[in-house]
Amino acid sequence: MPRPMPASLTPISPTGKPSTATESSLGNSSTPTFATPAPRSSGTKVSNPFLVLSTFLPLETAFAFGTIVLATHILLSQVSAPIGFAPIGINKIYNPAGEIPVATVAKELNLPYCLSTAGSNPIEAVAAANGEGPRFYQLYMPHDDELTVSLLTRAHKSGFTACILTTDTWQLGWRHDDIATGNYAFYRGIGADLGLSDPVFKQRLQAAGIDPVKQPKEAGAMWIDNVWHGRAHSWEKMPWLIKTWKEISGGKPFCLKGIQSVEDAKRAVDIGCDGIVVSNHAGRQVDGAIGSLDALENIVAAVGDKTYIMYDSGIRGASDVAKALALGAKFVWVGRLWVWGLSIMGETGVRHVMKSLLADFDIFMNVAGFQNVEQIDRSALGQIPCRFCRGRHADFFAESYPKGYAMIAERSKL
């Protein structure tokens, strides 16, 4: 049976009165702030752009001749740029069509798309929207092995080219803004479509006597309690998972996401991961964790020649991409950028944001004097104190702090 919502998660407002967030306020467009929260001070979240911003590109006058090539490959796939759509759960919070417009734009731009297990559309529907685009399936691994096998089988049959296991989110961090707004849509019967379309999970529902049509809240709660179950898997489970995925998929790549220490990176290599994502989940999980970029360089030094290293957390523009590549990442994923676009203007918003990032990167390459992404290496970087804010980045860049400007109106005029 699904757990009843703990009293501590009952929607409350900062004033202590019941939250005004209602079922109908979820699933609306124009909810970009739902993508923003992080635990407590937001310190870890802020430290992501902080570190990206405090790493400078002290370039000398640059001359580059010939065509600029952004294209690269990620594991087995050729893509337009070293930039992908990071997995973001339950896109129906931001747009009624959920993941579909996002997967559609990823296909159009030939950028890798990564679907979350907490996604709000069936795996097969997202794959259909993504067509021939390279796509990753991000696994949140249940403690029900049969269910895990079912999810992986669906992903493989739907043409997903790789699997990424997220290791930092066995349950959600304590995100004060989400708690204040009661932002846990699954418990309101919204967005569990990926689970409700799974044959094994349907059996589990039936065994528990839950009819998802008549009891959407109970069904949604039972699904998400299987995904964010709060009980970490151990390293000992990993060989089983890798073997299972390789058998199901005929050897497609397997990666770990959420690596922040050299020790874990080495362990990932030892157990046979094809790649890792250096990530702190946009600073949304471990409050006080180091900035993700701060973790990158040492990890690259330790295992950069042994596994494929990807990076995320805090990418907001082309120079952030370049700095991560310069520190040794081969590829970066972006999260909030496209979610904000999706929230504000659906498919058009996602396209606008990602094409803008590509344009920014293309121009960056030109003005910085790079002809291809392989040329961006450590020699492009310097570390000097930020002269703009004298170390007070948090005051300058905290996304959760009260805005000095109005939020973009419901219908933006992009």
Ligand X SMILES: Cc1cc2nc3c(=O)[nH]c(=O)nc-3n(C[C@H](O)[C@H](O)[C@H](O)COP(=O)(O)O)c2cc1C
Give the amino acid at 208: A
Query: How many Å separate Cα 58 from the centre of its chain?
Result: 30
**β-strand pairing of 83-85 with 77-79:** unpaired
- Taking the CB of residue 20, how many other CB atoms lie within 10 A of it? 10
| CA-derived radius of gyration, the chain | 21
- Least separation in angstroms between residue 120's CB and ligand X is 10
**Nearest position to ligand X, beta carbon:** 335
281 is catalytic: yes
Q: What one-character DSSP code corresponds to residue 284?
A: T
Contact set with ligand X (CB under 6 A): 35, 48, 86-89, 116, 118, 138, 166, 257, 279, 281-282, 284, 312-315, 334-336, 339
- Least separation in angstroms between residue 63's CB and ligand X is 32
Helix axes 100-109, 336-368, angle to 10 degrees: 20
Which residue lies nearer to ligand X by CB, 91 or 210? 91
Q: Which two tokens stand for residue 376?
A: 């961006």
Query: How many Å separate Cα 160 from the centre of its chain?
Result: 16
- Least separation in angstroms between residue 283's CB and ligand X is 7
Q: Smallest Cα–Cα separation from 331: which of 313, 318, 317, 312?
A: 312
- Least separation in angstroms between residue 225's CB and ligand X is 15
Which residue lies nearer to ligand X by CB, 324 or 373? 324
CB contact at 8 A, 302 and 266? yes
- Least separation in angstroms between residue 258's CB and ligand X is 7
Which residue lies nearer to ligand X by CB, 89 or 122? 89
Which residue lies nearer to ligand X by CB, 315 or 344? 315
Q: Output the CA torsion sign for 15, 17, 18, 22.
A: negative
Which residue lies nearer to ligand X by CB, 185 or 339? 339
Q: Out of 143, 156, 229, 281, pick the active-site residue.
A: 281
Active site residues: 281
